Amino acid sequence: MVPSFFAIVAILACAFGFVEANPHRKSCVIKSGQSKEIDDAPAILHAFKECGQHGRVLFEPQTYYVNSVMNVSWLKDVDIEIHGTLEWSTDIMYWLNNSMEVGYQNQSTAFIIGGDNVRINGFGTGTFNGNGDDWYKWIRQQKNTSNYPGRPHALTLSHLTNSAIHGLRFLRSQMWTMSVIHSHNVVLDSIFVNNTGNSAQSSNTDGADTIYSSHIVFNNWTVYNGDDSISLKANSTDITISNCKLSNGLGIAIGSIGQYKDQFETIERVSINNIDYENTLHAFYVKTWTDDQNGYPPNGGGGGLGCTSIWRRSDESEGNGTSRGRLCSFAMHAIFWGPGVGNCTNSQFQIKNVAIKNLSGTTQSTRVASLQCSAVAPCTNITIADVDLHLANSTEANSYLCGNVMSPAGFMCTGDVCVGGSATGEC
C-alpha cells in the first residue's frame, strides 16, 4: 500500500525535526573568513561537495559572507545544520549579471538547493540575510519596480524531494524569499520571514512561491512583508498551509496564473487552516490573467488555460478577532497591464469547487468577498459559510460582490463586482 500524503508528511517531520543528526556521519564544518571582503561561497560549496551526500554540513554560530552564486542541486541523504547567519553582498550589478535561472517567468535566484532526503535545521536562529534595503532603494529608482531582470530570489528549492526544512529565519530578502519549483514531498516548518525595509519600503518580496510542485507543507510560518505572504502558482497541487501568522502583506495568493498563452495550468487540492492575519489586504485572493496576451513574462502575458479547484479552508481566525488594517476575506480578479488594456472577464482559466468556511475577525471593509469571474469560464460551486467579520465599530461585514458567479452556496450576492484591475475589489 502506498502511504498517504499526510503519512509521508508525518514521517518526514519526525525524521527531521525531532531526531538528532547522526554524529558518526562524515561531517564538514565550514569556517567563515570573518570579513565582508572574503567570499565564503567557495568554502560553502566545497563543504557540500565533500559531505553533501550521506554526510553532514555544519555552519557554526558565525556570520558567513556570500558574495557569489551557489548551486547545490545534487544533495542526497544529508543533514545541514545552520547555527549562524549567511549574509549576501550588496553588489547589485554582480547579482543582476550572475543570478541563476529559476525556470519560470524569467525569474532568477542567488542560491539553489536540490536533491533527495535533505534535512535542514536552523534551530530558530539560523539566518539568511539578503541585505534587501539596498535592493529596495535601488529598485524604486528603476522604471520596472516589480520583476526586474536578474533581481534574485533569496533561496530556490529546485527538484527537491522527500525533504524537510525547519527553524530558518529570512531577513530582508532581495526579492521573493523562497521559490519552490519542481519539488515534491517537502515540509517547511517553523520559518520566520521579515522583509520589512529599514530605509525603503520593500517591493515584490513574497514569503514563498510554489511552481510545478506537489505535496508541500507550510507549517508554523511567520511572515512580515509588503507582498504575497505565500503564493501558489502554476501546477501547485496538494499544498497545505497551516498554523501561520501573516502580517502587513497581501495575504495568501492563488496565482497569478494563466500567464502563458495556450498553456494549461492548474492549482488543486489546497488546504489552508488556522491562519492568523494582521493588517493584510486580503485573507486570500485568486489572480488570473486575461485571455488577451500583452507582452511576455515576467511583467506581461496572458491567454493561459486551466482551472483552480477543490480548495478548502477552515478553522481560521483573523487576528483572533483583533486584526488591524484592511482585511478582505476573499477576492478574485483578472490581471491586465497598461491603461485600458485587456478584457477582465474573458479569461479561459476557470475557478471552481472552492469552499471557504470559518472566517472571523475585524476588517476595514463591509465587503466579505469580491468575485470578478470570467464570462467565458464562470466561477462554479463556490461556497462561503460561517463568516463573522465586523468593522471596528461592530458593524457586520455582509457584502458579497459578484460577477459571473454560478449558483453560489452559503451566501447571496448583494451587488455587482467592480470590473477592472482593482487590487482590493473596491470600486
Please give the positions annotated as active site. 227
Question: How many C-beta neighbours within 10 Å does residue 359 have?
Answer: 27
C-alpha 1/C-alpha 197 separation (Å) is: 49
Torsion on CA atoms 136, 142, 143, 148, rounded to nearest 10: -60
Q: HSE-up of 135 (CA within 13 Å, CB side)?
A: 34
C-alpha cell recorded at residue 336: 491586465
Q: 39, 128, 130: which is closest to 82 by C-alpha?
A: 128
C-alpha 386/C-alpha 222 separation (Å) is: 26
C-alpha 302/C-alpha 144 separation (Å) is: 19
Q: Where are the beta strands (DSSP E) in 83-205?
A: 85-88, 100-101, 108-109, 111-121, 127-129, 152-153, 155-166, 169-171, 178-181, 184-189, 192-194
Task: Please give the distance of CA 67 from its chain centroid, rounded to a whole number.
Answer: 25
C-alpha 371/C-alpha 399 separation (Å) is: 11
Residue type present at position 176? W
